[in-house]
């Protein structure tokens, strides 16, 4: 099991752009390192994929999605996960009763290596199906068609209207070597159009390049039209140029030896995207159209919430309650990011939430287990936080003899299901001659307590163990997300000064 108390060695995130990722990527990945050759293609190291198909994913109960941090793939807004790719893949996961974890591609990581090594199961990052990519991965059926278009800086007063004019004016077009745009530009060069191509680090993404175009660092780049539409809503200084490729197919990438996963994904995608007849637009489901409108089309756009020029008042890096959570958690000697992760899981930072079971407030405190007699008082953010932290602290103390990872796993399980059900699971583990202090064993036992042959003899009876196991794993994974966001925020402040990253 991956440790979650220490800062992860790689950007490993679960299923749920941090504020200003495009800004952060400009400071984080400003130029290709001197020892890096931009002309190194996909630079794949893992070519033999691990054996993990749909049956293995179902048995494990977790689908791992590899993606980039960007406004159209995956990002955080007030501590919660958003993004076109995230919501679309999550829809598939929900229909197949799978938890979704997100693996964000780190600055020194290769998405194809992450996929083939088993770190993730599906690359969902607005990827075009290209011949070079097909050497290493299998693609699903498409779920979108996009046009590649040139994007110019407004520093070019009279932007060229054709690709030939660009070549004549010798305007350098800045792209990544591993992008589909590079291959299209090479095709145009092969057709006799003498284009000037400026290669930059493969660590950059399209959105960060667009931002650099907007502030005049480069003069031109290439983007898919949907990414341009999304970015144009919150970036100033970019303008659209001519289309250089039409109807590129966008699809998810999976391992070549996962035919059953491909079948399930294709069935799902067929319900949401189908090609029309000649001269007809593709047919999309209502759900897919809603996502397209939310992230790419006209009307209120999610990007409005993280426009870097917007002055967000009363917020923090993770949530609107960062300072309060830090104060309460620090006084109890608890990591405040774990408390924030619990709140995100319980109520999505809604202080007025009330569950069907009567749990109230940010941390869903049950009045009957609280030292505060008034339910109304438990809706006060600080009071609720102090009660929730007190309860989780008691659970931590109860399991204090365990190592840090297991201790937190058991405490979270007890916070969700109660110590009684956790104790039943531990007794079941002992009956099986296994270690009751290891979370992996107890999580397996919690799943068994959903079966009558096991819960009929349990002291506290039936337990919806799958919910508790997912609760624990999702909080731990969200904790990793929040650690990464803080790391990016500190890096951004060092490079660009305070205020660059703020709350979505």
Question: Contact 383/377 with Cβ under 8 angstroms?
Answer: yes
Residue 26's nearest CA partner among 202, 208, 228 is: 208
Question: Contact 136/114 with Cβ under 8 angstroms?
Answer: no
Catalytic residue check, 138: no
- Give the start-end residues of each E strand in 27-172: 62-67, 75-77, 80-82, 99-104, 122-128, 138-139, 144-153
The length of the chain, given as a count of residues: 504
> Rounded to an integer, what distance in angstroms lies between the CA atom of residue 408 and that of residue 183?
48
Annotated catalytic residue, options 138, 346, 381, 473: 346
Question: Contact 420/452 with Cβ under 8 angstroms?
Answer: no
Q: How many CA atoms lie within 13 A of 274 on its CB side?
A: 9
3-class SS at 221?
strand
> DSSP readout, 396-407?
HHHTTTS-HHHH
Residue 13's nearest CA partner among 104, 112, 108 is: 104
Element (H, E) at 241: strand 238-254
Question: Contact 253/327 with Cβ under 8 angstroms?
Answer: no
Token pair 């930072």 in the structure block, residue: 349
3-class SS at 378?
helix
> Rounded to an integer, what distance in angstroms lies between the CA atom of residue 136 and that of residue 39?
18
Looking only at Cα atoms, what is the longest distance across the chain? 81
Q: What is the DSSP letter of 443?
A: H
Contacts made by residues 91-97, CB under 8 angstroms, sequence distance 24+: 91/268, 91/287, 92/63, 92/264, 92/265, 92/268, 93/15, 93/63, 95/268, 96/58, 96/63, 96/264, 97/61
Token pair 């997300």 in the structure block, residue: 481
Question: Contact 220/173 with Cβ under 8 angstroms?
Answer: yes
Q: How many CA atoms lie within 13 A of 15 on its CB side?
A: 29
What φ, ψ does residue 152 adopt, rounded to 5°?
-115, 155
Token pair 């938890």 in the structure block, residue: 99
Residue 205's nearest CA partner among 241, 181, 183, 188 is: 181
Question: Contact 345/363 with Cβ under 8 angstroms?
Answer: no
Rg (CA), the chain: 25
> Rounded to an integer, what distance in angstroms lies between the CA atom of residue 199 and that of residue 202?
9
Which residues belong to the active site?
346
């Amino acid at each position: 099991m991956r440790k979650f108390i220490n800062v992860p060695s790689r950007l490993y995130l679960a299923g749920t752009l941090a504020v200003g990722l495009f800004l952060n990527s400009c400071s984080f990945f400003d130029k290709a390192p001197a020892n890096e050759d931009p002309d190194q293609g996909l630079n794949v190291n893992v070519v033999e994929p691990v054996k993990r198909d749909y049956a293995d994913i179902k048995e494990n109960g977790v689908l791992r999605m590899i993606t980039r941090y960007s406004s159209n793939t995956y990002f955080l807004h007030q501590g919660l996960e958003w993004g076109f790719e995230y919501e679309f893949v999550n829809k598939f996961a929900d229909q197949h009763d799978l938890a979704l974890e997100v693996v964000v591609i780190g600055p020194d990581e290769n998405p194809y290596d992450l996929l083939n090594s088993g770190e993730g199961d599906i690359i969902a990052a607005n990827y075009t199906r290209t011949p070079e990519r097909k050497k290493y991965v299998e693609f699903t059926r498409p779920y979108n068609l996009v046009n590649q278009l040139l994007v110019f800086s407004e520093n070019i007063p009279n932007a060229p209207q054709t690709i030939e004019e660009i070549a004549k004016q010798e305007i350098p077009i800045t792209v990544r070597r591993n992008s589909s745009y590079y291959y299209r530009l090479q095709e145009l060069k092969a057709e006799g159009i003498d284009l000037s191509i400026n290669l930059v680090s493969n660590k950059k993404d399209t959105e960060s390049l667009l931002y650099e175009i907007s502030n005049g660092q480069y003069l031109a780049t290439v983007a898919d039209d949907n990414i341009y539409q999304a970015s144009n809503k919150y970036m100033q200084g970019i303008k659209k140029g001519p289309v250089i490729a039409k109807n590129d197919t966008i699809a998810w990438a999976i391992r070549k030896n996962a035919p059953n996963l491909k079948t399930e994904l294709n069935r799902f995608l067929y319900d949401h995207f189908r090609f029309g007849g000649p001269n007809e637009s593709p047919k999309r489901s209502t759900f897919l159209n809603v996502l397209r409108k939310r992230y790419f089309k006209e009307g209120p756009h999610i990007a409005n919430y993280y426009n870097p020029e917007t002055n967000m008042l009363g917020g923090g890096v993770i949530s609107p309650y960062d300072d309060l959570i830090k104060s309460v958690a620090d006084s109890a000697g608890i990591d405040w990011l774990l408390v924030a992760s619990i709140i995100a899981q319980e109520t999505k930072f809604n202080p007025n939430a009330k569950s069907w079971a009567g749990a109230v407030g940010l941390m869903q405190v049950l009045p009957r287990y609280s030292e505060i007699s008034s339910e109304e008082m438990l809706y006060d953010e600080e009071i609720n936080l102090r009660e929730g932290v007190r309860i989780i602290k008691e659970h931590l103390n109860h399991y204090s003899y365990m190592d840090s990872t297991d201790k937190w796993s058991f405490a979270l399980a007890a916070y969700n299901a109660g110590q009684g059900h956790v104790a039943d699971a531990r007794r079941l583990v002992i009956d099986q001659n296994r270690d009751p202090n290891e979370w992996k064993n107890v999580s397996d036992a919690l799943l068994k307590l959903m079966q009558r042959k096991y819960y009929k003899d349990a002291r506290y009876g039936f337990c919806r163990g799958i919910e508790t196991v997912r609760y624990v794993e999702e909080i731990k994974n969200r904790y990793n997300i929040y650690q990464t966001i803080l790391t990016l925020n500190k890096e951004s402040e060092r490079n660009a000064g305070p205020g660059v990253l703020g709350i979505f």
